[in-house]
Amino acid sequence: MTLAVADPRRADAAAAAAIVAEAVASGQAALPAAAIEALLAALGMPSQPAAQPATLRLALQCRRDFGFVLSAGPAGVDAAAEDAFRRGRGTVHAAAALTDAADFLRLFSPTIAYRRLAAQAAREGLPAPDGALQAAFAALLALAAAEEAASPSRGVLRRLELECLLGGGALVVAACRGEVGAPPPRRRPRPIDKIDRLLHPRTLGLVGVSATGMNFGRIILRNLAASGYPKERITVIREGQAEIDGARCVDSLRALPHKLDLLIVAVAAEAVYALVDEIIAADAAESVMLIPGGLGETPASREPAAAMAARIDAAHGRPGGGPVFLGGNCLGVVSHPGGYDSWFIPLERLPKPNKRPQRTAAMVSQSGAFMITRLSHNPWLDPRYMVAVGNQADLTHGDLMAYLAPRPEVEAIGVYVEGFRDLDGLDFARAVRAAVRRGKDVVVYKAGRTAAGAAAARGHTASEAGDYAVAESVLRHAGAIVAEDVSAFDDLLYLAVALHRKRVGARLGAISGAGFEAVSMADSTDTGTFSLELPALAPQTAQRVREVLAAKRLEALVQIGNPIDINPGADDEAHVAIAEAFLQDPAIDAVVVALDPTAPAVRALEASALRPGHDIHDPASTVALLPPLAARFDKPVIGVIDAGRLYDAFAARLMDAGVCVLRNCARATAALARYAEARRYAAQLQARPEEKR
């Protein structure tokens, strides 16, 4: 077989799809050998026996969450050892709808499998295998497009797996397996324009408010009022009551004087099913928030919850599209532009101070507790919207991302995902790609990386976590910054918010007051697929630094370079002046500066007993000097305060003044490396033509 030049005319995807249709009609799950041979021939990829072991595995799989996914990675011995490869070096995956042959070749080129093929071609004095690979990718993607265009009533190719090797400069298919089956189930599109009513309701109703006790509904009512939502725009559905906490009551949904923008349901789980039917029948609201848990998370509730979701889905087929439902098992929504907080957490347990004059972030989380803990640890994030999607009986991650992607006031979006609904992974990936093309940063923490984590997700929000490696690769390819753990999520979302309007590049200036910090910063510059550089200082930068050190009588103690250890004797002014010198260096794109809070010369305490006035309130403190410097430059400055609770006020004052501060040098540098890599990839996506499929 010769696939030396990428030529889509070689592949007859329609003929290949017809072979799949015939195999489906035969009722067999596995493609018989004759069908596989015919399918490969139609794709211009005939197989032939090979004496050598395969080195490349190609796969086209129709998945429940992402639809058709193209994969390429090592075969044979390398496949067995793939867990030892660094990220992006083993098997790579991309949603077929978001890639083409040339793009997928770029994704595949850094892998071990590609390098082995390229090395073999070089040993044999043959051209690089790029043309053969690109032609194979093009053929498989053409087949995916043909299958997507096929009638949804017939089955589809569920998986085609090819074991390949390089022989005589051509890609040889040594073995192939295929399966056909039912297509992924589909739901009707949700009317996502109604999310606007959910987030910015002009009228709001509640069901499940106790008139005598402090249940979830009553807490929500009080939080609504405390967050400033006008009581005259709230209606409580409570029979026999005139008002509760100053909000008027009506006896039933049908007694509502007008259709609500948002109805919040906080009743017991067993009462939800009939109430949902009543809401749909009465056309009572444009959007509905289902607070109760137990709707699909337990074995006994899965069947009635699925039936309820089917009735909601059917309502979307009616004129007007029916209401959209958020939840169940949903903490609720905090919408600052909408002027309301519907979380059922008392405000005294989770103060939400206004840390930013202009909120530019949004959080979408399958788990409400994830948002609570993140906000409790990181109040400076202060998102514009915080939306808990719960078990996605109706609205999904993809719906919320599609709504947020075009909104210019949202610059960064943080998402916690346990699992995707049917084909919603693809919708979500498409919306991520659209958001990144519009210049937004999207940070995703995808749960279920281990078998235990996937099982926990099923018991929490009725989620199928799916194959983590595929989801991680597909979402990264779409443009998301995928965090490997919760700490990385915190750091990356914070950087996305704090540095979004800065120019971000790959050349780092690293400043520390201790040798271990300089080493840890240097050790944290490599993400596995990208590295920050530590360029040599320009002569004028070195001279400026030398002058600062001389003025502080530290020149004999410091070796000038990048990274630089400026000695624990350096005071606030020295840290800021050297950071400024680094920022002025044309070869440096960003600065990470350790602010050495425990050093006696640094004004890092809220109040000093030994040296009264030598504290963060001093006009000569870092708190006073660093914020104007950080604001003046369009290069990022990340301050590091690697110390305990005694220095929380130091960090908080800088953060409140707009300085990006992290509490560990290695984490700061690693997060910057990941963020710089994502910004570089985003720029590449923005420069490419939009996908046609």
Question: Which CATH number does the domain housing residue 579 bear?
Answer: 3.40.50.261
Query: Which residues constitute the domain of residue 401?
Result: 192-498
Position 287: which residue type? Answer: S
- C-alpha 316/C-alpha 190 separation (Å) is 6
Dihedral pair phi/psi, residue 106, rounded to 5°:
-60, -40
| CB distance 62 to 123 below 8 Å | no
Instruction: Tell whether 622 is covered by a domain.
Output: yes
Domain end: 158, 181, 204, which one?
Answer: 181
Question: For 568-664, where are the alpha helices, taking DSSP H only?
Answer: 572-584, 622-632, 648-656
- C-alpha 40/C-alpha 19 separation (Å) is 10
Encoded tokens for 111: 């892998």
Q: Which string of DSSP letters, residue by residue, matches 116-152?
A: HHHHHHHHTT---THHHHHHHHHHHHHHHHHHHHS-T
Instruction: Tell whether 433 is covered by a domain.
Output: yes
Based on the fold, state whether residues 390 and 434 are members of the same structural domain: yes
- Chain position carrying tokens 């609504």: 224
Instruction: Tell whether 2 is covered by a domain.
Output: no
Based on the fold, state whether residues 235 and 299 are members of the same structural domain: yes
Spatial strand order in the sheet of 333-335: 340-341, 333-335, 385-388, 361-365, 412-417, 441-446, 481-483
Position 104: which residue type? Answer: F
156-167 vs 340-341, strand pairing mode: unpaired
- Chain position carrying tokens 């910090």: 517
| CB distance 640 to 631 below 8 Å | no
At residue 352, the pLDDT reads: 57
Contacts of 328 (CB under 8 A, 6+ apart): 269, 272, 290, 291, 292, 293, 294, 295, 296, 305, 390, 391, 393
- C-alpha 641/C-alpha 220 separation (Å) is 38
Q: At what angle do helices 33-42 and 13-26 cross, to 10 degrees?
A: 160
Based on the fold, state whether residues 491 and 526 are members of the same structural domain: no
Q: Is the peptide bond before 459 cis (omega within 30 degrees of 0)?
A: no
At residue 296, the pLDDT reads: 76
At residue 51, the pLDDT reads: 67
- C-alpha 69/C-alpha 118 separation (Å) is 24
Based on the fold, state whether residues 430 and 458 are members of the same structural domain: yes
Based on the fold, state whether residues 164 and 262 are members of the same structural domain: no
Contacts of 632 (CB under 8 A, 6+ apart): none
Instruction: Tell whether 589 is covered by a domain.
Output: yes
> Looking only at Cα atoms, what is the longest distance across the chain?
88
Name the 3-class secondary structure at 159: strand
At residue 3, the pLDDT reads: 37
Question: Which CATH number does the domain housing residue 66 bear?
Answer: 3.30.470.20
Instruction: Tell whether 689 is covered by a domain.
Output: no
In 501-542, at which residue ranges do the beta strands (DSSP E only) sit? 508-512
- C-alpha 155/C-alpha 21 separation (Å) is 7
Question: Which run of H or E residues covers position 160?
Answer: strand 156-167
Based on the fold, state whether residues 29 and 48 are members of the same structural domain: yes
Based on the fold, state whether residues 96 and 160 are members of the same structural domain: yes
At residue 569, the pLDDT reads: 92
Instruction: Tell whether 52 is covered by a domain.
Output: yes
412-417 vs 441-446, strand pairing mode: parallel
Encoded tokens for 239: 């029979």
Based on the fold, state whether residues 377 and 490 are members of the same structural domain: yes
Encoded tokens for 473: 């690769």
Number of domains in the chain: 3
SS3 percent helix, strand, coil of the chain, rounded to 5, is 40, 20, 40
- C-alpha 328/C-alpha 295 separation (Å) is 6
Encoded tokens for 667: 């984490």
Instruction: Tell whether 186 is covered by a domain.
Output: no
Domain end: 467, 498, 529, which one?
Answer: 498
Give the pLDDT means over successive 10-residue stretches in the chain (693 positions): 40 87 88 91 81 88 96 83 71 96 96 93 91 94 92 86 87 92 89 98 97 92 92 96 96 95 95 95 96 83 92 95 94 93 78 67 94 88 93 96 97 96 96 98 88 51 66 97 95 96 97 89 92 97 97 94 94 97 98 96 95 96 98 97 96 94 95 97 92 59
Per the rule left: phi > 0, alpha: psi between -120 and 50, beta: everything else, 241 is: beta
Per the rule left: phi > 0, alpha: psi between -120 and 50, beta: everything else, 469 is: alpha
Global confidence as pTM = 0.93
Q: What angle do CA 270, 276, 279 make, to 5 degrees?
A: 140
Based on the fold, state whether residues 253 and 394 are members of the same structural domain: yes
Based on the fold, state whether residues 274 and 206 are members of the same structural domain: yes
Based on the fold, state whether residues 263 and 129 are members of the same structural domain: no
Q: What angle do CA 633, 637, 640 make, to 5 degrees?
A: 155
Instruction: Tell whether 503 is covered by a domain.
Output: no
Based on the fold, state whether residues 197 and 328 are members of the same structural domain: yes
- C-alpha 423/C-alpha 188 separation (Å) is 11
Domain end: 111, 146, 181, which one?
Answer: 181
Residues 278-336 have pLDDT tens digits of 999 999 999 999 998 888 778 888 899 999 999 999 999 999 999 999 999 999 999 99
Residues 168-185 have pLDDT tens digits of 778 889 999 999 998 888
